[in-house]
Amino acid sequence: MGAADRLNGALETPASSGLVGVPDDMERLWTPHRMVYVADTHQVDEHDCPFCFAPSQADEQVLIVHRGTHCYVLLNLYPYNNGHLLVCPYRHISTYDEANAEEVAEMGELTQIAMRVLKQTMNCHGFNIGMNQDEVAGAGIAAHLHQHVVPRWKADANFFPIIAKTKSMPQLLGEVRERVSAAWPVPPPAATA
């Protein structure tokens, strides 16, 4: 039953149920499981941070595709699109302004490499790149800085995510990790003096 039916009185309105409010045509999707992301009831520190934990595990287990000196790259466990990567500093910092010069430089370099690798392996047409800083800006893990690199295709947007709140993912995360990791360029060995 849709919003129009409710407005026509098919369901009990807040006024008739004794609750206060004016009915509107807005659909409400109740998602109490999201409170973990929006409630400030638990401050994540490096002891329970998934981005601090990941580098201590095997790459395949935690979907890491590349380890750098100050930052590493892994697949997003809840991707917006196939091949969605995250660039994270190893150090537990929450916002971009806390990153030191080496971390900023390597995040930028790894983001560029990630774009090249995704173009090569996923044949994508464009990217969304960005950082959500703090809970109010939509950061799911606000305690640890991370940059999103989301590949996009000309026809990747359709009605399915909007209507059904379902995103079709054509490849398994492990398969994508193998593909991206295998295509990541290996730096030449450092010259010895």
> What positions carry a catalytic annotation?
146
Phi, psi of 113 (to 5 degrees): -65, -45
d(C-alpha 50, C-alpha 76), whole Å: 11
Characterise 109 by phi-psi region: left (phi > 0), alpha (psi -120 to 50), beta (else).
alpha
CB 90 within 8 A of CB 55: yes
d(C-alpha 112, C-alpha 64), whole Å: 17
First to last CA, the chain: 75
CB 144 within 8 A of CB 93: yes
What residue has token string 């998602």? 31
